[in-house]
Amino acid sequence: MMRFLFFLLLINISFSQKKPNIVLIMADDLGYESISVNGGKSYLTPNIDMLAKKGVRFINCHSEPICTPSRVRIMTGKTGKKNYLDFAKLDKNETVFSQLLKEKGYKTLIAGKWQLGKEANLPNHFGFDEHILWQHKLPRTDSVGHDTRYPNPILDVNGLTVNYDNGSFGPDVIVDYINEFVKRNKKTPFLVYYPMLLTHCPFIPTPDSGDFDPESKGSLEYKGNPIYFGDMVNYMDKLVGRIYNNLKDLKLLEETVIIFTSDNGTDAPIVSKYLDGEMEWGKGKTTDNGTHAPLVVSWKGHTKQGVIDSSLIDFSDFLPTLCDISGIKVSKSFDVDGISFLPQILGKENNKKKFIHTWYYPRPYQQNISGDNWGRKEFEWTRNKIFKLYSDGRFYNVKDDFYEKNPINLEKMNKIQSVNYKLLKKGLESYEKITWKRKI
């Protein structure tokens, strides 16, 4: 009888051990220098700063230079040379983190910006039980040319087009949905993937700006007015706080890993005060002001407080990390490039990642969008914390030469330069046999 009761107790324990919830927040067009805890002096980000003080702040995380490549990379765990199709597309044949977590019993939500294909069933195909999205089935503007993401937004909610024409603000509508989703699913493990609308242009007033117009149908200008960028950063941070406070009120902080990052550098023409100087916008550029992403992870009771981690991390590392958190073993057949950084989240050392590989060619088949000239050229490089090597032979010390103005003379390298050059050259060679081909 005692053995039977002990057996029942073991069963009860095994079923009661809930997998950790995951909330992955990815801001849009927000450089590393925009976060005050990172040394930013232009904007207020108290909620993100708070998460950093309660958890781990990573100072060497890199995205792609622009949005779709980052979104594809973070969801698939692969360098773009293996799976990238074209701007605003995600290959339906790829396996993404939401599919893997859904298969293991997670309730899954994507909320925010989509920009990965217009087919109606794509969010469900990629493993999301629910979605509230902008730029999914509809373009970014209405028939008159108003941007539809901010005041009185038009969103795709679980397959239905909803016009929120009651004076609401799109980012608030989305966070309202996120918080309700969390309340409905608090007893089951859940994944919330929140690719934010903010702080992408058009730069417009927020409800906290004082001149927000609840009657507005959205900006008719692509860029808007850059004087509002600071207000948008502040409001973005406020939304992070709303999500955190909802988890706190529901007593879910110890069960929930909160991750905050951004898809690429700040957009033109923003120049921000940073440390003892200024940082110019970098969106679309292959220099560090285009790729250096903020990354903060907080998990109450699991992360040590106020840790600063200098590990080399890139967006391909997120899929294996989310799987590691949720106890999922990633099959070698997925051919991911990323390495889990869960050990660093838990305060352990992890020196497996020696370099980052990036292949960047976001718009090989499309005409320029919104008058920009990004993505009409192919770039490939490997990098570590200090050095960066392009496939055309340009070699830089990006720590000392941030804007890559002075390539290192390969015939006059010192010992440290030579060692790093050989490491990064070997990294490039490991990807030489991969030939990018358009798959659609």
Q: What is residue 370's predicted lDDT score, i.e. its pLDDT?
A: 47
DSSP-derived secondary structure for 370-405 = TT--TTSS-EEEEE-SSEEEETTS-EEETTT-TT--
Confidence of residue 438 (pLDDT cuts 50, 70, 90): low
pLDDT band at 15 (very low <50, low <70, confident <90, very high): very low
Q: How far apart are CA 362 and CA 70, in angstroms?
A: 10
Q: What is the spatial distance between Cα 363 and Cα 245, in angstroms, rounded to a whole number?
A: 39
298-353 tens-digit pLDDT:
999 999 999 999 999 999 999 999 999 999 999 888 899 999 999 999 999 898 99
pLDDT tens string 103-142? 999 999 999 999 999 999 999 999 999 999 999 999 999 9
Q: Is 246 helix (H, G, I), strand (E, B) or coil?
A: helix
- pLDDT, the chain, mean: 93
Residue 366, token pair as written in the block:
């499309």
Q: What is the pLDDT of residue 8?
A: 40
Whether the CB-CB separation of 309 and 57 falls below 8 Å is answered with yes
- Check whether the bond before 226 is cis (ω within 30° of 0): no
pLDDT over 70, % of the chain = 93
Average pLDDT over residues 229-238: 98
Residue spans of alpha helices (H) in 28-169:
46-54, 67-76, 80-83, 97-103, 122-125
Own/partner contacts of 275-283, CB < 8 Å, gap of 24 or more, are 275/39, 275/41, 279/31, 279/33, 281/31, 282/31, 282/65, 283/29, 283/65, 283/66, 283/374
**pLDDT-derived band at 212, boundaries 50, 70, 90:** very high
Range 96-100 average pLDDT: 98
Q: Mean pLDDT over residues 209-229, rounded?
A: 97
Pick the CATH number of 19-356 from 3.30.70.3420, 3.40.720.10, 2.60.120.10, 3.30.420.40: 3.40.720.10
Percent with pLDDT over 90 in the chain: 88
Q: Where are the domains of the chain?
A: 19-356, 378-429
Q: Report the pLDDT value the prediction gives residue 363, as an integer from 0 to 100.
A: 86
Phi, psi of 179 (to 5 degrees): -65, -35
For residues 241 and 364, which has the higher predicted lDDT (pLDDT)? Answer: 241
Per-residue pLDDT band at 374 (split at 50, 70, 90): low
Per-position DSSP letters for 346-379, written without gaps between them: TT--------EEEEE-S-SSS--STT--TTSS-E
Reported as half-sphere exposure (CB side, CA atoms, 13 A), residue 421 has a value of 16
